[in-house]
């Protein structure tokens, strides 16, 4: 029960990585604020917020379900308010909700640009701003943004998408500096390989032998938030970085297809670019 009495807010919690993080945290004793849009079954997208909440409750977790479109600032503010009223604090924020768009500038309508900016970086900013006072007051907090190390050479071909994702990483690094001495950590976390999610499947990013299970990111996130916040902050980490630091060296169990060795996500991105 490594997260006993900790309260975690997780966005994009109805499926994929968010669901896996929620269930992993539930097993470790966390109280959960689960945030997503999907309350009713969708014909093309498996998973709903009530289903994940039930799974977490069956594991013994106390759960608050918050239907929320993270593009809506007032809805996010209300979600944080409800979480504070229910649990009295929020210790952990996982900015997981995301929009995928692997297209060059000439194939990016303004409407799509605005969508990925609002879901990826703007939502992370607003939720971080609203939750920080609780973390500061309690002298303990972890913010994890699902975003990569800033490498400008990777912008080409996916410019709008990486602007939004790098914005999340810069937010984590900026908050780490602002929270210095307050025992509140902010880090970015990113997979080495493509992860099997509805977005990856629907977008046609590679195939199953090229993917790992969401559990690798959930396990890495757990290891990160179980550290004292003063131990690691302002970093852009990979799932393998974090798990290796915890003594994990065999990642084969995370492959979607047993016996395969998924390539780095960079390799898949180069294939898409070409």
Residues with catalytic function: 161
Q: What single string gives the DSSP state of each residue in 12-60?
A: STTSHHHHHHHHHHHHTT-EEEEEES--S--SSS---HHHHHHHHHHTT
Which pair of tokens denotes residue 61?
Answer: 């977790």
Closest CA to 261 of 190, 227, 210: 210
Which pair of tokens denotes residue 77?
Answer: 């503010």
- Say what the alpha-carbon torsion angle 203, 153, 104, 193 is, to the nearest 10 degrees: 0
SS3 category, 123: helix
- Say what the alpha-carbon torsion angle 41, 47, 48, 51 is, to the nearest 10 degrees: 110
């Amino acid at each position: 029960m490594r997260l006993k009495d900790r309260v975690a807010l997780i966005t994009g919690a109805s499926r994929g990585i968010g669901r896996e993080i929620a269930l992993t945290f539930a097993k470790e004793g966390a109280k959960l604020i689960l945030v997503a849009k999907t309350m009713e079954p969708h014909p093309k997208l498996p998973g709903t917020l009530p289903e994940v909440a039930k799974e977490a409750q069956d594991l013994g977790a106390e759960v608050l379900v918050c239907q929320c479109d993270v593009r809506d600032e007032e809805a996010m503010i209300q979600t944080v308010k409800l979480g504070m009223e229910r649990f009295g604090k929020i210790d952990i924020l996982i900015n997981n909700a995301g929009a995928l768009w692997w297209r060059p500038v000439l194939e990016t309508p303004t409407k799509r640009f605005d969508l990925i900016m609002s879901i990826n970086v703007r939502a992370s900013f607003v939720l971080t701003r609203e939750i920080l006072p609780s973390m500061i007051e309690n002298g303990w907090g972890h913010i994890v943004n699902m975003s990569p190390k800033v490498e400008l050479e990777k912008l080409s071909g996916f410019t709008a998408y990486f602007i939004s994702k790098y914005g999340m990483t810069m937010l984590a690094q900026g908050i780490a500096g602002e929270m210095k001495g307050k025992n509140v950590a902010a880090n970015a976390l990113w997979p080495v390989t493509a992860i099997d999610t509805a977005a990856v499947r629907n977008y046609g990013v590679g195939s199953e032998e090229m993917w790992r299970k969401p559990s690798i990111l959930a396990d890495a996130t757990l290891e990160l938030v179980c550290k004292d916040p003063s131990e690691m902050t302002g970093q852009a980490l990979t799932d393998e970085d974090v798990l290796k630091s915890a003594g994990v060296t065999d990642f084969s169990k995370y492959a979607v297809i047993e016996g395969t060795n998924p390539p780095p996500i960079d390799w898949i991105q180069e294939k898409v670019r070409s």
